[in-house]
Structure 1
Amino acid sequence: MDRGRQVFLVRHGEADYERLSAFAPVYHGSRRDFAPLTDLGIRQAEGAAEQLRGDRPGVVVASPYARTLQTAALIAARLGCELRVEPALHDWLPIRDGASPVTGELVRQKIEEYETWQRSGILPPDRTWETDEEMANRVRGAVARHVASGPLIAVTHEAVIKSATGAAVVGLASVHRLTR
């Protein structure tokens, strides 16, 4: 990452998961990532854009999930920026191989493993998820691939922002500065 370059991480706005229930079971499990923003989520994204207006960003990059793409599109449109998709800004995954089925029970188990690791510092030998350091490195690599005139905005997810910034609280559509 360029030393003098400012990078802002923005969490997506509120997602409308209920809207997908009419399409059950098509949008269960990981397909919930296709959920658009709620009306409140749209207003949250617009508020984040206003907060960033004075920084005069050059590019907005987003995780490929619907909630982040819609948030990023709203920000980019409000600020007159180019919008790019960056797959490496994806959310924390309970299983990284992409081939194993992901159930609600499995997600709960992996979150419990992750939280146990955070408290104890002992990594399970058969873990399937990223550590905070691995997520932070992934984010830094992702933003480094996007050259922009002016600051860069990366729209991503709560766990990703927490890992990259050390923030304890990452509210919906909140803005965080990424430091080296």
Structure 2
Amino acid sequence: MRVYLIRHSEPTYQQITAAGLTGFGRELGGLTDRGIMLAQQCAQQPLFAQVQLILSSPYTRALQTALEIVRFNDIPLKVELGLHEWLPDDTGSRTDTDEQAATAYKLYRQHAGKRSTASPLPYESAAEMKARVLATLNKYAASYDYIACVTHGEVMRQFGDQKDVGYCGVRVITID
């Protein structure tokens, strides 16, 4: 199965910051006006002529990007929890502050995506993230030839050269 990984479009966190949300609340940020425009441009790509299904991370910025793609293409959409962004706190409670999340990401990057048992923060390792995403995608491999997945930059880094992908950027992978 060919998978088009698509990074969500440009987000805004103004409302989230004004509301004082932290932890998982930070994931409720939608797109900027420019982000909506970028998603609409992404939706015009010829690759969508082949796509049989669009999967999306449940985070608002990914869902809003997927919505713009679906508006221009007659393709079914499914939300998949396993396509969410890297977790700075993989305990499931995600009560971290923005500063703790930034520290966790700094540790994650310093240790090349690995987390030792001595780590002061319980962030998700790169291997755990990649396994989570592959488990999600593998559910579709027997039924589809081409799917698109609207997901996140750090997720996409696990499937390629580790370079950042721009908003609405596409990375193609194959799932056997």
Give the shorter-chain TM-score range: 0.7 to 0.9
Q: Which among 115, 119, 124 is matched to residue 116 of structure 2?
A: 124
Alignment of 1:37-116 (within 5 A): 37-53=31-47, 55-99=49-93, 101-116=95-110
Aligned length: 172
Residue type matched to 1:164 in 2? F
* Alpha-carbon distance, 1:61 to partner: 0.5
C-alpha separation in 1, matches of 2:37 and 2:114: 41
- Kept in 2: contact 1:59–1:76 (CA 8 A): no
Taking structure 2 as the reference length, the TM-score comes to: 0.87
Alignment of 1:142-153 (within 5 A): 142-146=136-140, 149-153=144-148
* Alpha-carbon distance, 1:126 to partner: 3.7
- Kept in 1: contact 2:114–2:126 (CA 8 A): no
C-alpha separation in 1, matches of 2:27 and 2:166: 18
C-alpha separation in 2, matches of 1:170 and 1:35: 19
Taking structure 1 as the reference length, the TM-score comes to: 0.85
Deviations 1:91-137 (A, max 9, x none): 1011111225211221122112112211xx87421442222222222
Note the aligned Cα RMSD (angstroms). Answer: 2.1
C-alpha separation in 2, matches of 1:164 and 1:142: 14
Identity of aligned residues (%): 31
Correspondence for 2:174: 179
Tell whether 2:3 aligns with 1:7.
yes
- Kept in 2: contact 1:48–1:75 (CA 8 A): yes
C-alpha separation in 2, matches of 1:64 and 1:42: 17
- Kept in 1: contact 2:51–2:148 (CA 8 A): yes
Q: Which has the higher helix share?
A: 1
After alignment, is 54-63 or 126-135 more displaced? 126-135
User: Could you list the runs of 5+ residues in structure 1 that have no partner in the other structure?
Assistant: none
